[in-house]
Amino acid sequence: MQYRLLVSGDRDHFTTLDFDPNMKRLSILADYPAPFNASWVDRISSHSDIDYLVGLSEGEKVGSLYSFGINHARGSCRVTSEQPTLGAPAHFLTLRDNSALALSTYLGGSIALYPISISAENEMILTDEPRTELFPEFPYKIPGHGPNQSRQQQCHIHQILEDRRGLLYAPDLGSDRVWIIRRDALRMEVCGWLACPPGTGARHAVFSPDESVMYVIGELSHTVVAFDLSSAPANAILPIDGFAPNIIPPSIHPDHHLMLDASELCLHPTNPNVLYVSNRWSRHIAQRQPELKDVPRDLPTGDDIAIILLRDDGKKVKTLKHVRTNIDVIRGMRLSDDGKYAAVVGQEGGGIEIYNITGKAGDIWSLQAGLSEVTKAIGLVAFMNSTVDRQGEARANIVNSDFLLHTPHFVPMLDNHNKKTQNVGIEHREDNISPIDSADPFDAENIAYGPSGFKGLIAAPYIFGVSFLASLAGFSFGYDQGVISIILTMPQFHNVFPETAPSSPTYGFSTGFMTGMLELGGFIGCLFYPYLADRYSRKWGLSIAVVFYTIGAILQTAANNYATLVAGRFIGGIGVGTLALGAPLYIGEVAPPNIRGSLLVLEQFSIVIGAVLAYWITYGCRGIKSEWAFRLPFLLQMPSALIVGICIHFFPFSPRWLSMKGRDEDALAALARLRRLPPTDNRVQQEWKGIIADVKLQQAIRSKMHPGVTGVKLEVAGWIDLFRQKYRKRTMVALAIPFFQQFSGINAFVYYAPIFFQALGQDTERALILSGIVNICQLIACIGTVLCLDHFGRRNLAIWGGIAMGIPHAIMAGIVGKYHSSWSSNTGVGWFGVALVYIYVLCYGFTYGPLGWTLPAEVFPSGIRATGIGAAVATNWLANTCIGFSVPQMQVSIGFGTYIFFASWCFIAAIFSYFCVPETKGLTLEQMDSAFKDGAAAEELEIRREVVKEVINGV
């Protein structure tokens, strides 16, 4: 996903910026002419295609409060109303009931309420009704100067906050108090205050998530104090004892502490036990003041961010550390709503920087991007959600705007070239439009249902249960893949099916044909499952798959002749193919965005764990003297699949499938049930609209591409589309990578590992144990899959993965060819061959293992993505079938040539990837067009705008 930022300040324009975390790039989206120089700006409402904002213009005695509208389609900005302020305005807050704005002034010390209304022209305005003003210094006048005489001669209110009870809190630097103000409509009265220690200089404050604690930063003392708000408002509420962390950076010499001004503090949005505090190091100001005679002229640049880790109750400090930035005189700090990124901005230098926040405690900051050319002015920045307006154009939607960031006006360095910002109106860029995927066109991937990762799974037990049940289908798939390798070595099995015995003249063909029938069935199953899933639902599709799977398991268990066994493998394979597609499809459509990735990884783990358990269960059964040595492992295929087929009906239908059937209200009810939230919840509503939009988009694209075509003809047309000129290169990549995935030889080792290890000089018993470790290596590689995929990118993994897999194969070909008849005297070489097998399996798991499933899902535009993925999966199964059929015969016929065969395909994969596979990680539709040089998504983007407008206006 991408993040949007808004910048304004002491200049004649507003700027929206885009931060792409995948590309680590910060760039300008558009400039809007501004009617005034703003010291603060905040979005308060949206109407039609216009965003309404309010801004402040400073003045020592009289400032101004403006309401204005930005029309993103026209790239214009127009003032709708203006009101004077008494003193220099510092901050304002939109009240929770949206009746008025609360404004504070830092010179004059007043708090005022300005009513909001809609004009006859249907515009948001600040009304001409009398405003209400409150002067905390009367009757609470400061008795003389504060400890810092130059800064504490009068009330100096920097901020206003409002709690859930409607009480206002106003930190007052001049009086070392945070005023508590009770409001009745537009009437205000002071009902108490929080008493900061003398000389604190209260500047900014933030509530704990439950509003039981308030944290206050002292600009003059460089400390954070905390107040317990659990009791009723009263005069002189004292700070929590022992809570006063000093945030002065250790790099600042004590003689220069006078030049520090603590600025803002933020609470981590998903980890309430982490506070971030900025402390601006005003070296430029100090150097310009002659009375500060001993200030060095070569002071280091860059301000610090203090990271305060709190204990669970939020009332005690656990640890404190500092992060050094490249910003001079920090005047703002803002965290994205997901807590992954922080924007830091400066008044005197450094411009704006974006940091990635990682670590369990959120205490690791790494610089991602920045724009550094600045001029000496103050502006504002806010992280925003990327969304789409009613005209289908990209719109920046400011969220959680209690803290907007002060930042300098700057002349950005874009793409490493000095380019001055100009008022050129809105710059139309298709990559501004949020991608519409299977979840949400309104950037629903960032809906805050809860934390991600393990914590998110624990916080969502219902959806975890739904997904865990569905993942048993993956377990069944993995079990069926892993059960055959040891069975093929059992004398009990050879006695019943002599065609598969090594002594049989048809051994190679019969073994390969029987094994490969599962993959052929999987190929057939993956072709017709999409029809089942769309026609009868994802749930019934899984149940039908279980029927095939169970019939196949019964036939394999009861078979007394080769033909029945082959039939059982084929029918069971149909079930395996459908389960392999059905489980991740259902999980992906019911999982919330914040843990979807984790739940899909859970499904992958289930496949690998199924294969591991199948192997070791079969290994344990081989000691049974009767035919149950192989019949029992075949029989144990059934329980997990039957649990899925029956229990899946106790859970909701996929909301996406319901929407596809025109049952939008049922989709909303199912989504609310899955999220354990009421249907009216904003997050549920947003995700629901996103699902509807995506369904309509698919229908609109198909209708546009094939007008008047329906039914089977439309399905056939979709397959033909894959090979049209504008999609041909994408289809080639999407089919080639799964092909190379299988022809690298992975399932040769999964199915026939004991045979390979015996060919390396290992005895039967040892070969069986070593074969079990192959599956464990796959499990280890599965853990690192996501890390490798996202860290190194798709293209690099495709190139270097092919090379890394080809080298072990090539070396094995050499040692098997030279030592195949003398392993007894060259046992060390044999063990080296075993190590090479494991190296190959690990390299596969980290590279082509995930690539075969990821790349096909990324390269196609929405209109043909489902068909393209189906073709890629079918290619995977077909290639898998070829490997299953051919490897036993290859081992018999060409011996070490089998390794040469696989090595050749690995190196061909690397060469193909170098010349044909572009990097696709994190690319938008338009960027994917550029990568493939085909313009395939251009038409889709136009359809997308119309669909989004229809959904917003029609839902």
**Alpha helices, H only, 821-936:** 827-846, 848-859, 862-893, 897-916, 925-932
List CB contacts of 298: < 8 A, sequence separation 6 or more: none
Element (H, E) at 637: none
Confidence band, pLDDT 50/70/90 cuts, at residue 13: low
Which residue type occupies 579? L
Q: Quick one: CA dihedral 459, 463, 464, 465, positive or negative?
A: positive
**Range 111-123 average pLDDT:** 77
Which residue type occupies 351? G
pLDDT at 289 over 70: no
The residues with which 370 forms a beta bridge, in sequence order, are: 353
- CA-angle at 613, arms to 750 and 559, nearest 5°: 75
Q: Compare 99 and 799 and report the one with higher pLDDT.
A: 799
Cβ-contact 296, 343 below 8 angstroms: no
The DSSP 8-state label assigned to residue 498 in this structure reads G
To the nearest 10 degrees (0 to 180), the angle between helices 507-536 and 562-590 is: 40
Q: Tokens 């009240």 belong to which residue?
A: 95
Burial string for 890-917 (b: 16+ CB within 10 Å, else e) reads bbbeeebebbbbbbebbbebbebbeeeb
Cα 623 to Cα 629: distance, rounded to the nearest angstrom: 7
Catalogue all structural domains in the chain, each as residue range(s) with its CATH number. 38-421 (2.130.10.10), 436-651 (1.20.1250.20), 726-922 (1.20.1250.20)
Please report the pLDDT score of residue 215 as a whole number. Answer: 94
Element (H, E) at 406: strand 405-407
Please report the pLDDT score of residue 419 as a whole number. Answer: 31
pLDDT tens digits for 245-256? 878 877 666 666
Beta strands 364-371 and 62-71, pairing class: unpaired
Confidence band, pLDDT 50/70/90 cuts, at residue 440: very low
Cα 546 to Cα 579: distance, rounded to the nearest angstrom: 8
pLDDT at 846 over 80: yes
Report the side by side order of strands in the sheet with 317-324: 260-267, 274-281, 304-310, 317-324
List CB contacts of 34: < 8 A, sequence separation 6 or more: 8, 11, 12, 13, 14, 77
Q: Compare 267 and 955 and report the one with higher pLDDT.
A: 267
Please report the pLDDT score of residue 374 as a whole number. Answer: 42
pLDDT at 119 over 90: no
3-state secondary structure of 541: helix
Please report the pLDDT score of residue 58 as a whole number. Answer: 64
DSSP string for 15-41: EEEEEETTTTEEEEEEEEE-SS--SEE
Cα 55 to Cα 65: distance, rounded to the nearest angstrom: 6
Lowest mean pLDDT across 162-171, 521-530, 586-595, 870-879: 586-595
Confidence band, pLDDT 50/70/90 cuts, at residue 9: low
Q: Which of 166-170, 221-225, 825-829 has the highest mean pLDDT?
A: 166-170
Lowest mean pLDDT across 43-57, 94-108, 847-861: 43-57
Lowest mean pLDDT across 234-238, 470-474, 615-619: 470-474
Please report the pLDDT score of residue 950 as a whole number. Answer: 64
Cα 799 to Cα 787: distance, rounded to the nearest angstrom: 17
Please report the pLDDT score of residue 597 as a whole number. Answer: 62
Please report the pLDDT score of residue 72 as a whole number. Answer: 60
Please report the pLDDT score of residue 786 as a whole number. Answer: 56
**Range 453-460 average pLDDT:** 73
pLDDT at 396 over 50: no
Report the side by side order of strands in the sheet with 202-207: 202-207, 213-218, 224-228
pLDDT at 219 over 60: yes
**Alpha helices, H only, 794-826:** 794-819
- Nearest CA-CA partner of 255 in 286, 219, 290, 218: 286
Please report the pLDDT score of residue 353 as a whole number. Answer: 85
Which residue type occupies 160? I
pLDDT tens digits for 730-752? 899 999 999 999 999 888 887 77
Please report the pLDDT score of residue 465 as a whole number. Answer: 87
Please report the pLDDT score of residue 227 as a whole number. Answer: 94
Cα 718 to Cα 232: distance, rounded to the nearest angstrom: 66
Residue 403, Cα to own-chain centre: how many angstroms? 24
- Nearest CA-CA partner of 131 in 91, 185, 174: 185
Q: Compare 404 and 160 and report the one with higher pLDDT.
A: 160
3-state secondary structure of 917: coil
Cβ-contact 107, 60 below 8 angstroms: yes
Q: Tokens 């991007």 belong to which residue?
A: 369
List CB contacts of 765: < 8 A, sequence separation 6 or more: none
pLDDT tens digits for 677-719? 888 877 788 788 878 877 887 777 777 777 877 777 777 887 8
Please report the pLDDT score of residue 900 as a whole number. Answer: 94
Beta strands 25-33 and 40-47, pairing class: unpaired
The DSSP 8-state label assigned to residue 374 in this structure reads B
The DSSP 8-state label assigned to residue 239 in this structure reads P
Cβ-contact 48, 390 below 8 angstroms: yes
Say what percent of the chain tops pLDDT 70. 74
Q: Tokens 């098997």 belong to which residue?
A: 816
**Range 311-335 average pLDDT:** 81
pLDDT at 839 over 70: yes
